[in-house]
Amino acid sequence: MYGLVNTAVADLARAVGGEEAWQEVCAHAQVPPVAFVGTAAYPDDVTYRLVEGASAVLGMSPEQVLAAFGRHWVRYTSQRGWGPLLQSAGGSLPEVLAGLDALHARVRLMMPELRPPSFRCVELSATTLRLDYWSERPGLAPMVVGLVEGLAELLGGSASATHVRVAADRHDHDSFAVTHSPAPA
């Protein structure tokens, strides 16, 4: 994964527990507390170990860490210059979710080693949808819950996502039931 992801994990750990917590996460993960280069690719194992370290240090399950990270990721990247790109993907949560693959294609122009997940959004009603998620990286699906919530907040609305289909259960992808409320007019 790119260093931007690991830097955001560090930012989340610091936001929850301060610099000391980040140092403990690194020690637990056996990762030197270095400044990751946002545009450099790192082995996926580094990120997985950081999530495990954050789980141990912050007293959260790995799934809770990933969900918190998903929400944090949206804020973090928005504040670091990626906000306009996120917002250009659409004006509503369904539009943005439906445009995630196109957004990742644009990011891939700047980060050629990017191996993003793929998403398909199916609107079921004005306030509900199904979000399908494919990833070559196992175990990261809980992050989608936080991403959905964070994107809704970025757009001025709210959302909740429930993991309803797990790829590990002999399916080729995960699915999420999403209920959302748009920003007030």
DSSP structure string for 122-174: EE-SSSEEEEEEE-SSTT-THHHHHHHHHHHHHTT-EEEEEEEE-TTTT-SSE
The confidence band for 8, taking pLDDT boundaries of 50, 70 and 90, is very high
Across 10-39, average pLDDT:
92
Q: Give the per-residue pLDDT at 153.
A: 93
Mapped onto helix, strand or coil, the DSSP state of residue 9 is helix
Across 16-40, average pLDDT:
92
Looking at the chain, the whole-number percentage of residues with pLDDT higher than 90 is: 67
Asked whether 168 and 88 are in contact (CB, 8 A), the reply is: no
DSSP track, 91-125:
SSHHHHHHTHHHHHHHHHHH-TT----EEEEEE-S
Q: CA dihedral defined by 14, 16, 21, 27, rounded to 10 degrees?
A: -80
Across 147-162, average pLDDT:
94
Q: Give the per-residue pLDDT at 31.
A: 94
In one-letter notation, the amino acid at residue 25 is: V
Q: Give the per-residue pLDDT at 82.
A: 79
Paired residues of 129 in beta bridges: 123, 178
Q: Give the per-residue pLDDT at 21.
A: 96
For the cut 80, the answer to whether the pLDDT of residue 142 exceeds it is yes
Q: Give the per-residue pLDDT at 166.
A: 87
Q: How far is residue 106's CA from residue 85's CA, in Å, rounded to a whole number?
A: 9
For the cut 80, the answer to whether the pLDDT of residue 93 exceeds it is yes
Q: Where are the domains of the chain?
A: 3-60, 65-181
For the cut 80, the answer to whether the pLDDT of residue 170 exceeds it is no
For the cut 90, the answer to whether the pLDDT of residue 91 exceeds it is no
pTM for this predicted structure: 0.89
Q: Check residue 184 and report its DSSP letter.
A: P
Q: How far is residue 70's CA from residue 150's CA, in Å, rounded to a whole number?
A: 7
pLDDT digits (tens, 9 = 90+) for 72-89: 999 998 888 877 787 778
Element holding 175 (H helix, E strand): strand 174-181
Which one of 3.90.1520.10, 3.30.1330.60, 3.20.20.10, 3.40.640.10 gives the CATH number of domain 65-181? Answer: 3.90.1520.10
Mapped onto helix, strand or coil, the DSSP state of residue 183 is coil
Q: Give the per-residue pLDDT at 95.
A: 93
For the cut 80, the answer to whether the pLDDT of residue 183 exceeds it is no
Q: Which of 33-47, 50-64, 87-101, 165-179: highest mean pLDDT?
A: 50-64
